[in-house]
């Protein structure tokens, strides 16, 4: 729990927003500061305020449970832990000293059994490919139906790999010092293009402080892998990080910025980005898909949003009761539903989200896959032969660039999810 609070305090410091309106991250920072001073009543009050704004946060519930335990409010602690279990999730409390007063009691054992049950396998996801001995961080995925080629972006090696129909893997893009860590990728078949979001970060090979802050999109020839151009994000004296994108039918590209609350667009033939929307309602934008004249966008800190194009109207899509939609990463649009990879929870999951006809409310959330063997360290998701295909064992969890030069060799798995 102490580690959680310290992490939250650091994360909250990165967020912007309207100084006149308190967000749940502001209360989180207050709670972390009070907790560090052992002012548990103040930390609890701030955590409750954060929960009123984000009732689906297992982390806030975890913190509340710990604070209640420290204040000898046993019933409050167990109530918060049961709420986490009702979300279908688990948190590590077995050896946490903040829960010392509860450990060993019958009720604590019942909570641990509920958490263990939530870690049990759910759904069906088949390993359709294994990529042995990878020393990179594979993050983005795109499938070309016409040729059967599967493309995988590599953050560490700053390249894209191609896996052909026979299963052979070759490097698709050449080495180029202008390429950065490559994240989300998308195919534009009509224009023979493969686009990649990219940013400079310590996990990429050759990172230097001089590269910090660089981000944008790279366009490649879909047939040859030749780099056509790089489009950088304009300098507005804010930090930016482009990590995912989607291509519209007319060739317009929409890209999310995880550092600034901006959705960017690049229209066909344009040389520079324009802003689709710049709004403090966002905190950490991730994957996005197109649904009619809207973008459905995942925010790691805030859940799901619908953004109308071109008006820029934003509609928050609250999580239904007993559902957690924080920690979302990649999105995939299928007829009548959206598939999402959720990495910010335990266990990591693949979700199915159904929206109403007006795209202004979520009608159902279903866990498609969780707790399966090796279904961890998830990255982005794409359609392959009509089914969601997701990267697991991507390499993120194994790599600390402050301690090693590259991720240790590992076997990346590609899971294909069976739909209900």
**112 with 130, same domain?**
no
If asked whether residues 281 and 330 sit together in one domain, one would say yes
Please say if the pLDDT value at position 16 is more than 50: no
Same domain, 38 and 142: no
pLDDT at site 21: 80
pLDDT band at 235 (very low <50, low <70, confident <90, very high): confident
Kindly report the CATH number assigned to the domain that includes residue 379.
2.120.10.30
pTM of the model: 0.93
Out of 118, 142, 170, pick the residue that ends a domain: 118
Cα–Cα distance, 314 to 300 (Å, whole number): 16
Q: Into how many domains does the chain fold?
A: 2
**Token pair in block for residue 57:** 């946060």
The answer to whether 31 and 47 are in contact (CB under 8 A) is yes
**For residue 366, pLDDT beyond 50:** yes
pLDDT above 50 (res 12): no
Q: What is the domain extent for residue 209? A: 122-417
Supply 50's token pair.
């954060």
pLDDT band at 8 (very low <50, low <70, confident <90, very high): very low
Query: Among residues 89, 118, 147, which one ends one of the domains?
Result: 118
Identify the domain boundary among 90, 118, 146: 118
Cβ-contact 263, 297 below 8 angstroms: yes
Q: In 29-158, at which residue ranges do the beta strands (DSSP E only) sit?
A: 122-123, 125-134, 138-144, 149-154
Task: Tell me: pLDDT of 4 over 60.
Answer: no
Separation of alpha carbons 1 and 288, rounded Å: 32
């Amino acid at each position: 729990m102490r580690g959680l609070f310290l992490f939250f305090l650091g994360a909250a410091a990165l967020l912007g927003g309207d100084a006149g309106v308190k967000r749940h991250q502001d209360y989180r920072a207050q709670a972390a500061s009070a907790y560090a001073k052992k002012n548990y009543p103040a930390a609890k009050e701030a955590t409750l305020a954060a929960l009123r704004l984000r009732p689906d946060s297992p982390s806030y519930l975890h913190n509340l449970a710990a604070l209640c335990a420290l204040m000898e409010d046993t019933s409050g602690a167990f109530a918060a832990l049961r709420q986490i279990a009702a979300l279908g999730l688990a948190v590590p409390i077995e050896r946490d000293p903040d829960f010392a007063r509860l450990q060993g009691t019958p009720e604590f054992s019942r909570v641990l059994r509920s958490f263990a049950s939530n870690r049990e396998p759910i759904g069906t996801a088949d390993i359709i490919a294994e990529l042995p001995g990878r020393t990179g961080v594979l993050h983005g995925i795109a499938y070309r139906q016409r040729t059967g080629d599967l493309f995988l972006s590599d953050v560490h090696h700053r390249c894209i790999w191609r896996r052909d129909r026979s299963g052979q893997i070759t490097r698709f893009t050449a080495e180029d010092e202008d390429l950065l860590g490559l994240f989300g990728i998308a195919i534009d078949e009509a224009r023979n293009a493969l686009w990649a979001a990219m940013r400079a970060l310590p996990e990429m090979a050759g990172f230097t402080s001089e590269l910090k802050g660089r981000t944008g999109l790279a366009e490649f020839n879909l047939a040859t892998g030749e780099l056509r151009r790089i489009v950088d994000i304009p300098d507005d004296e804010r930090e930016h990080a482009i990590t995912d994108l989607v291509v519209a039918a007319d060739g317009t590209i929409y890209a999310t910025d995880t550092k600034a609350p901006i959705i960017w667009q690049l229209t066909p033939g344009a040389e520079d980005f324009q802003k689709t929307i710049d709004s403090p309602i966002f905190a950490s934008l991730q994957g996005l898909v197109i649904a009619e004249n809207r973008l459905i966008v995942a925010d790691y800190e805030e859940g799901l949003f619908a953004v109308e194009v071109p008006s820029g109207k934003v509609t928050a899509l609250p999580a239904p009761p007993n559902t957690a939609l924080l920690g979302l990463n990649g999105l995939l649009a299928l007829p009548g539903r959206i598939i999402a990879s959720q990495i910010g929870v335990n266990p990591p999951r693949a979700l199915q989200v159904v929206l109403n006809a007006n795209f202004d409310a979520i009608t159902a959330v279903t866990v498609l896959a969780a707790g399966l063997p090796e279904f961890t360290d998830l990255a982005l998701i794409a359609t392959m032969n009509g089914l969601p295909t997701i990267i697991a064992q991507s390499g993120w969890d194994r790599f600390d660039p402050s301690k090693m030069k590259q991720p240790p060799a590992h076997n990346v798995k590609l899971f294909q999810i069976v739909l209900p």
